[in-house]
Structure 1
């Protein structure tokens, strides 16, 4: 949030802002792939601590005077940040598989939902702080405070995480990175399109549209996206209740298809609402204004997307092998990062050349592809 709003304020184009995140997402792809292999060889505690340390360095790199913040320099700092973030996420989510037995699938689903939901709720707090700190203490001041807070957590982690959790009994071979089951491959492909569908309109196009077209302040944009992410995280944590776990049902490939299909309708309806010319004249009087349509549409999209994301996060751990679990999880989040990379670049490019509606239509297409891929996923057993 700091980078998007600060560099938009400096006059960067939407595509230029998207390019600042190119290495962040690109190195996320590489990190998840290689990080899963490192986790199996070194242990998940070590990959976690490496990630925390790199994130502190990445934040401090951006505190240099503004005249030194060239595009290549910022891209390098964002690359380190992307490596750090994905080392942490891969390590944390892989650990859950090892803390729940194979016959405790309901418990595994509940833990995955809680971790994923709380992580995204805290991400939402970060969106709010990004906008608020930029307005309050400026770009450099915000980065310094963030680096200090994270350094304290890193030192605590170095002291506390001592066990070699997730370290494979036999040395993981590098070629095993691509040796995946059909279920893991299909789920990874669906994940790529799922997150590409979100980021193609959420990362660059939406914040810039709210700021440039609707006149929202940085604090307003940051606050709104913060509340969206927090609500999104809350729904993720409740996904087991929404999908029927209490009645003895666990999500499977059919669940992933249905929820992705439902989600694909939402950006299409928003796009049609923004472009009233494609609708019958008699319907236009019932359309809300641009702001209510975007706010309401994004809230609905976030709720349904949260269930989709939580389902996927559970399914990958269910399909993953216990021995070397980080290899399968790393491969899966590599696809996640690839989707974010494609979505981020398309978000800036499509918005600059066309408009927000084009981003929403591409989002619909991506979600339809995610739903079709989910048809090939196995049906899961019930508790």
Structure 2
């Protein structure tokens, strides 16, 4: 406690924000794995499983758009705490008897979880902009990379937790345990988080929801394509493929996806070093293009190898490793650029608009993941992934480039 007392108020708030984000992400990753595996076991088709996440992603689009405006008016502490509480309610909705777990009911629970997730994420990412001095771009990049990377590492841990506890404890006991734990985090957050964090000095009008900034619009479009490219094969197609085609059990699927996402999160945290921060370099629009080009080749190579009837295990493991490393760097670059581009007063508006595009990409990828896999298999999902990354690379050419003399501060 003495060590915490010596920290600056900004650092203490950063730790609270990050802790909230971590706790939420752990339950969110576990819930996603629980829903995919449990409902596949109940006999749901890949497309039906994808539809369970339809409202999760759709309401994420709306939440990011409105949540930024809401955060500017009432403060990021309230939007973050609201997200935590909504996730507790969403988990509780899944505790009804199995006979009542109909598609509409689960979609409603996932809708609430989608609202909760994006309120929490928007609040956390926006808060970092306000806790870092405006002239410390290098520090901002580092903190964003740590927050984003650690979040994805914990999401991977959530995948492992969900798959493991489903096998050990069953669906209902696992969900109940997560609801109780997250409720405790919510109570602590209500007490500890600063009351006026993120309130805009000049309250934005509802008509200002859509961004008028060219760089933010282009970056948002690139983000939509980038996350559509990931989720078109990762959300439904890959877990079902591993279960059906490779005969993996829940432990294997959960552990593999968990390790992949944890590794992905570690690379995200290291992105500043990989992109030249030690040499004083900071990412710009050209960096987003340069890193997107090799990423595009990874799903194309996997799809081509599967089409040539190479053994799936030999193809998927190294291919997914390469994709994970490159995607992690791309995602971290984008996360830094949006916070850097955003206005300080009303930062949640710009960040919310950007993550609305992120949610639209996930929505597109989720629906395509179930439909394409059911219609044409995993290779088709991967080809579409490569095409979406190519689109993100082209859009990135319109992003601003840092002047040659610009250095880290």
TM bucket normalised to smaller = over 0.9
CA deviations 1:104-144 (Å, max 9, x no partner) are 11000000000000111111110000000100110111100
2:368 aligns with 346
2:39 matched to 1:14?
Answer: no
1:16 Cα deviation from its structure 2 partner: 0.4
1:292 Cα deviation from its structure 2 partner: 2.2
CA deviations 1:166-204 (Å, max 9, x no partner) are 100122211111133000000000000000000000000
Q: Of 360, 374, 378, which residue of structure 1 is paired with 2:396?
A: 374
In the aligned structure 1, how far is the partner of 2:350 from the partner of 2:125?
11
1:104 aligns with 136
1:293 Cα deviation from its structure 2 partner: 1.1
Q: Of 120, 145, 159, which residue of structure 2 is paired with 1:88?
A: 120
Q: Is the contact between residue 254 and residue 375 of structure 1 (CA under 8 Å) also seen in structure 2?
A: yes
2:187 matched to 1:155?
Answer: yes
1:364 aligns with 386
Aligned residues: 373
In the TM superposition, 1:18-29 aligns within 5 A as 18-29=50-61
1:130 aligns with 162
Q: Of 301, 304, 329, which residue of structure 1 is paired with 2:351?
A: 329
In the aligned structure 1, how far is the partner of 2:134 from the partner of 2:206?
26
1:71 aligns with 103
Computed over aligned residues only, the root mean square deviation of the Cα atoms, in angstroms, reads 0.8
Taking structure 2 as the reference length, the TM-score comes to 0.90
Unaligned runs of 5+ in 1: 278-286
In the aligned structure 1, how far is the partner of 2:350 from the partner of 2:327?
23
Structure 2 SS opposite 1:377: coil
1:290 Cα deviation from its structure 2 partner: 1.0
In the aligned structure 1, how far is the partner of 2:290 from the partner of 2:300?
17
CA deviations 1:242-261 (Å, max 9, x no partner) are 00000011010000001111
Q: Is the contact between residue 109 and residue 314 of structure 1 (CA under 8 Å) also seen in structure 2?
A: yes
In the aligned structure 2, how far is the partner of 1:295 from the partner of 1:202?
13
Q: Is the contact between residue 180 and residue 328 of structure 1 (CA under 8 Å) also seen in structure 2?
A: no
CA deviations 1:305-344 (Å, max 9, x no partner) are 0000000000001100001000000000000000000000
Q: Of 248, 263, 275, which residue of structure 2 is paired with 1:216?
A: 248
In the aligned structure 1, how far is the partner of 2:393 from the partner of 2:194?
41
In the aligned structure 2, how far is the partner of 1:215 from the partner of 1:18?
20
In the aligned structure 2, how far is the partner of 1:360 from the partner of 1:375?
24
In the aligned structure 2, how far is the partner of 1:67 from the partner of 1:21?
20
> Where do 4+ consecutive residues of structure 1 move more than 4 Å?
none
1:382 Cα deviation from its structure 2 partner: 2.7
In the aligned structure 2, how far is the partner of 1:274 from the partner of 1:162?
52
1:164 Cα deviation from its structure 2 partner: 1.0
Q: Is the contact between residue 267 and residue 361 of structure 1 (CA under 8 Å) also seen in structure 2?
A: yes
1:197 aligns with 229
1:139 aligns with 171
Q: Of 96, 99, 115, which residue of structure 1 is paired with 2:147?
A: 115
Structure 2 SS opposite 1:250: coil
1:86 Cα deviation from its structure 2 partner: 0.5
2:285 matched to 1:253?
Answer: yes
In the aligned structure 2, how far is the partner of 1:171 from the partner of 1:100?
22
2:319 matched to 1:313?
Answer: no
In the TM superposition, 1:279-290 aligns within 5 A as 289-290=311-312
Q: Is the contact between residue 16 and residue 348 of structure 1 (CA under 8 Å) also seen in structure 2?
A: yes
1:296 Cα deviation from its structure 2 partner: 1.2
In the aligned structure 2, how far is the partner of 1:164 from the partner of 1:233?
30
In the aligned structure 2, how far is the partner of 1:162 from the partner of 1:93?
16
Q: Is the contact between residue 303 and residue 379 of structure 2 (CA under 8 Å) also seen in structure 1?
A: yes
Q: Is the contact between residue 202 and residue 345 of structure 2 (CA under 8 Å) also seen in structure 1?
A: no
2:297 matched to 1:297?
Answer: no
Structure 2 SS opposite 1:299: helix
In the aligned structure 1, how far is the partner of 2:129 from the partner of 2:373?
40
Q: Of 196, 202, 205, which residue of structure 2 is paired with 1:170?
A: 202
Q: Of 232, 240, 265, which residue of structure 1 is paired with 2:297?
A: 265
Structure 2 SS opposite 1:238: helix
